[in-house]
Amino acid sequence: MKKILIATTALVATAGVAAAEVAVSGNGRMGVVYDGADLNFSSRIRVVFTLSGETDGGLQFGGSFRADNATGAATGNAGNVYISGAFGKLAMGDVVGAAEEVIGDLPEIGFQDVANNDVSYLTGDNGGSVSGTNALYTYSAGALSFALSMNDGKQAAVPAGFALNTTTGVIAPVAAVGVDTANEVAVGVKYSMDAYSVALAHEVSKPVVGGARKHTIIGATGTFADTTVMAFYGAMSGGTLPKQKQYGIGVTSKFDAITVKGFVRNDKTTGLKAVTSWGLGGEYSLGGGASVAGGLADNNVPGSKVKADFGLKFTF
């Protein structure tokens, strides 16, 4: 199928000035979602602006943001901006922390991410806050990759500290109103060779209340023919909250136009029953940026029911 994108691209090139470009892309989805009780329609379409340029000295710079996040991108709450060169890459805005940069997440299940595939990090995208900016520095030298991230304190809508999600068993940072809250710092290193990689990261989050919390996580990936396996183990401690451990494994296999994904994860908080979650899904490429996708997900929390989705995904 022929893919057509109507977009406006601006190119600037004059003597002694390197080229700059603004490109437009997008993605969309439509389908049905079963939340364990009801069947609902789900649809979404987004437009993404990607900007890039290069200085006379060879430094690359740019950024990207979604049209629906234009207001947030203007204040660092959404989108990102970067500069890169021989020194590495420095990005600011709605960027991941160093731990997530080197470890990653479990496979996304379904056409609209029906499962709890995100690994728990103290530093989420933009610190998990509605205000403020994350800074992420990355550098690669041969098989080694390094990442360092931090923020300047967040300001959001509820009391600062950490909260326990009793459904997933995951402890996550919560921001606060009118004050600098969680100051987050993370460092990570990754070693890659051929089809394998191993990564180690450490995070520290110091909220206004609850005391400092620390997280150490290790992860590994391996590709065997058309199958990629990802596994991780992390431990959180500190502050007034109980200790937490998390581990999981995910698998992605491709067979021509068919992709099959699955994962199992376990989240254990001291004093609470461990929560085991799983997800299983598949995707069939129709070509031209369109695909059919669906998935199932559940956990062992009492009263939990299997969730499912099925629909179409598009990229433009």
Q: Are 69 and 47 in contact (CB under 8 A)?
A: no
Structure tokens at 99: 């731990």
Q: How far apart are CA 242 and CA 265, in angstroms?
A: 19
Contact yes or no for 136/96 (Cβ under 8 A): yes
pLDDT at 122: 86
Question: Is 84 within 8 Å of 90 (Cβ atoms)?
Answer: yes
pLDDT of residue 26: 97
Cβ distance 231 to 242 under 8 Å?
no
Q: Which of 14, 12, 36 is nearest to 22 (CA)?
A: 12
Sign of CA dihedral 93, 97, 101, 104: negative
Q: What integer pLDDT is reported at residue 166 of this predicted model?
A: 55
Bridge partners (DSSP) of residue 139 are: 146
What is the predicted pLDDT for the residue at 222?
98
Compute the distance between CA of residue 168 and CA of residue 244 in angstroms, rounded to an integer. 12
Given its phi and psi angles, is residue 36 left (phi above 0), alpha (psi -120 to 50 degrees) or beta?
Answer: left
Low-confidence ranges of the chain (pLDDT < 70): 1-19, 125-132, 154-182, 209-210
Task: Tell me the domains of the chain and their CATH numbers.
Answer: 10-315 (2.40.160.10)
Question: Which structure tokens are listed for 89?
Answer: 């890459």
What is the reported pLDDT for 173?
56
| pLDDT computed for residue 91 by the predictor | 96
This prediction has a pTM of: 0.84
Share of the chain above pLDDT 70, in %: 81
pLDDT tens per residue across span 279-314:
999 999 999 999 999 999 999 999 889 999 999 999
Q: What is the mean pLDDT of the chain?
A: 86
Strands 244-255 and 144-151: unpaired
